[in-house]
């Protein structure tokens, strides 16, 4: 993942292509968001504006009841901070994945589109990624996210339920396609994934622990598993195995 | 709600953006620490593993279509197929299973 093909420069077109499955997956999620926002009493334009400015699923869903009930702004800010804190980890990781020549302003642009899925695909590439590739990668998911919200908000009956349901698994299929091939070649990576999955399942299925918000659970799993990986299998060892 | 909606959306978007932007703007240089490099090497795998399980089991309308889609996705990933192929095959499998389940209910 970090050694081979360091000199390949990923193009805008490659980014666009990699963005297609993300965009398709986003359609169904943002469709649901649009429907829910309108059902809770928000105007269509507000639902679309939220999607176009936030570009995050969990945070947007969590924000809806706060807007509708007129919660304090501080509560809104804290809720978004907690749910989205994982992005700080992802941006930190992505900062090491971008070509050195990408300047600060460009980094600030890329940051806006650093969603779970875009981060996942970008870090799954070999070597460094270029500005052009990142722009391509963000384009289709952004359009999918905004238009899905609009369609969901305007016409909740447009996509048959069975199609929406099936599209729900797209994102996970993509995640697996990213993590399984490296895990096949690298024992350490496999162990870290299994550990993270185990912690995640424990938090989901055990009483008391399942009260922890999903945003926090992902942060806990990530920190524990990656720290253990860094301690037990420092990077040269990981590469030797790979 | 009225004008307050704008303010709520501004707060939501602002916090979400800052969380994403600050680390990217701050850590521009390559980090040389072996420990941090190793941590960052494993991080994406840990994040994606935790986000996929157990959420994938409830990603579709029924556990059976989710399981079928999951199995197909794992098999194709082991054969190192590209993202779009794996994602679409998982969706198509889930769709088929749900369609068959409805069909059987009708009978």
| Predicted pLDDT of residue B15 | 96
User: Which of B49, B64, B71, B76 is most worth mutating to test chain A (most A CB atoms within 10 A of its CB)?
Assistant: B49
Locate A32 and state its tokens. 């649901």
Do B24 and B37 have their domain in common? Answer: no
User: Which of B29, B37, B43, B55 is most worth mutating to test chain A (most A CB atoms within 10 A of its CB)?
Assistant: B43
Do B4 and B25 have their domain in common? Answer: yes
The pLDDT tens digits of the residues spanning A1-58 come to: 444 455 678 999 999 999 999 999 898 888 878 887 887 788 999 999 999 999 998 7
| Predicted pLDDT of residue A69 | 82
More confident residue, A9 or A94: A94
Determine the average pLDDT of the residues in A203-230. Answer: 88
Do A161 and A205 have their domain in common? Answer: no
Report yes or no on A21 lying in a domain.
Answer: yes
**pLDDT confidence band for A240 (50 / 70 / 90):** very low
Do A130 and A74 have their domain in common? Answer: yes
Minimal Cα–Cα distance from B107 to chain A, Å? 18
Of chain A, the percentage scoring pLDDT greater than 90 comes to 53
Do A66 and A88 have their domain in common? Answer: yes
Q: A–B: how many Cβ contacts below 8 A? A: 316
Of chain B, the percentage scoring pLDDT greater than 70 comes to 96
Q: Is the pLDDT of residue A123 over 80?
A: yes
> What residues of chain A lie within 8 A of the CB of B65, using their CB?
165-166, 169
Of chain A, the percentage scoring pLDDT greater than 70 comes to 92
| Predicted pLDDT of residue A105 | 93
Do A117 and A174 have their domain in common? Answer: yes
| Predicted pLDDT of residue B2 | 59
Do B49 and B88 have their domain in common? Answer: yes
CB contact (8 A) between residue A67 and residue B11: no
> Which of A178, A208, A226 delimits the end of a domain?
A178
| Predicted pLDDT of residue B4 | 87
| Predicted pLDDT of residue A2 | 45
Domain total for chain B?
2
Do A140 and A52 have their domain in common? Answer: yes
Length of chain A: 242
| Predicted pLDDT of residue B11 | 96
- For A241, the domain range is 186-242
| CB-based contact, A134 to chain B, within 8 Å | no
> Nearest Cα to B58, choosing from B30, B93, B94, B96?
B94
Q: Measuring CA to CA, how many Å separate B66 from each of A44, A133, B86?
A: 31, 32, 14
Sequence-distant contacts of B103-106: CB under 8 A, at least 24 apart: none
CA dist A48 and A45 (Å) reads: 5
Let me know if A52 is exposed, middle or buried by CB neighbors in 10 A (0-12, 13-18, 19+): middle
CA dist A74 and A80 (Å) reads: 10
| CB-based contact, B17 to chain A, within 8 Å | yes
Let me know if A160 is exposed, middle or buried by CB neighbors in 10 A (0-12, 13-18, 19+): exposed
Do A224 and A172 have their domain in common? Answer: no
Do A39 and A154 have their domain in common? Answer: yes
Q: Measuring CA to CA, how many Å separate B84 from each of A17, A139, B53, B57?
A: 9, 16, 20, 20
Domain total for chain A?
2
Residue A206 dihedral angles phi and psi, to the nearest 5°: -95, 140
> What residues of chain A lie within 8 A of the CB of B77, using their CB?
176-177, 179-181
Minimal Cα–Cα distance from B106 to chain A, Å? 15
| CB-based contact, A85 to chain B, within 8 Å | yes
- For B51, the domain range is 32-106
CB contact (8 A) between residue A226 and residue B20: no
For A25, what's the count of Cα atoms within 13 Å in the CB-facing half-sphere? 29
Q: Which of B5, B17, B30 sits opposite A96 (nearest CB)?
A: B30
| Predicted pLDDT of residue B10 | 96
- Chain B residue closest in CA terms to A237: B38
Q: Which of A168, A184, A224 sits opposite B59 (nearest CB)?
A: A168
> What residues of chain B lie within 8 A of the CB of A114, using their CB?
20, 24
More confident residue, A164 or A54: A54
Most confident of A76-85, B18-27, B36-45, B68-77: B68-77
| Predicted pLDDT of residue A1 | 44
Average pLDDT over all residues of chain A: 87
Do A160 and A219 have their domain in common? Answer: no
Q: Is the pLDDT of residue A216 over 80?
A: no
Report yes or no on A118 lying in a domain.
Answer: yes
Contact residues for B79 (Cβ-Cβ < 8 A; gap 6+): none
For A5-24, give one letter per residue: b (16+ CB within 10 A) or e.
eeeeebebebbbbbbbbbbb
Do B53 and B96 have their domain in common? Answer: yes
User: Which of B36, B87, B89, B92 is most worth mutating to test chain A (most A CB atoms within 10 A of its CB)?
Assistant: B87
Report yes or no on A1 lying in a domain.
Answer: no
Do B60 and B86 have their domain in common? Answer: yes
């Amino acid at each position: 993942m970090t050694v081979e093909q360091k000199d390949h420069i990923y193009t805008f077109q490659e980014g666009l292509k990699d963005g297609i499955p993300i965009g398709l997956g986003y359609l169904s999620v943002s469709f649901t968001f649009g429907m829910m926002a309108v059902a809770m009493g928000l105007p269509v334009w507000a639902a679309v504006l939220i999607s176009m400015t936030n570009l995050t699923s969990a945070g947007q869903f969590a924000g809806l009841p706060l807007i509708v009930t007129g919660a304090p702004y501080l509560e809104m800010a804290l809720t978004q901070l907690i749910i989205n804190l994982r992005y700080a980890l992802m941006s930190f990781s992505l900062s090491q994945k971008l070509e050195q020549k990408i300047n600060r302003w460009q980094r600030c642009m890329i940051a806006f589109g650093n969603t779970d899925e875009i981060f996942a695909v970008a870090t799954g590439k070999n070597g460094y990624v270029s500005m052009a590739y990142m722009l391509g990668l963000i384009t289709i998911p952004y359009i999918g996210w905004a238009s899905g919200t609009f369609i969901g908000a305007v016409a909740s009956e447009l996509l048959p339920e069975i199609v929406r349901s099936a599209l729900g698994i797209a994102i996970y299929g993509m995640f697996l396609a990213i993590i399984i091939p490296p895990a096949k070649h690298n024992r350490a990576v496999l162990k870290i994934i299994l550990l993270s999955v185990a912690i995640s399942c424990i938090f989901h299925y055990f009483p008391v622990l399942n009260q922890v918000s999903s945003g926090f659970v992902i942060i806990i799993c990530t920190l524990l598993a990656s720290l253990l990986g860094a301690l037990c299998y420092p990077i040269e060892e990981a590469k030797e195995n790979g | 709600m009225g004008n307050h909606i704008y303010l709520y959306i501004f707060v939501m978007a602002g916090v979400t953006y800052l969380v994403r932007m600050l680390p990217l703007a701050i850590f521009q240089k390559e980090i040389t620490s072996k420990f941090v490099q190793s941590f960052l090497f494993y991080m994406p795998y840990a994040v994606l593993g935790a986000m996929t399980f157990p959420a994938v089991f409830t990603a579709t309308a029924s556990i059976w279509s989710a399981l079928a889609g999951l199995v197909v996705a794992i098999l194709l990933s082991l054969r190192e197929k590209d993202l779009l192929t794996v994602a679409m095959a998982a969706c198509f499998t889930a769709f088929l299973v749900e369609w068959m389940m409805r069909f059987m209910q009708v009978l």
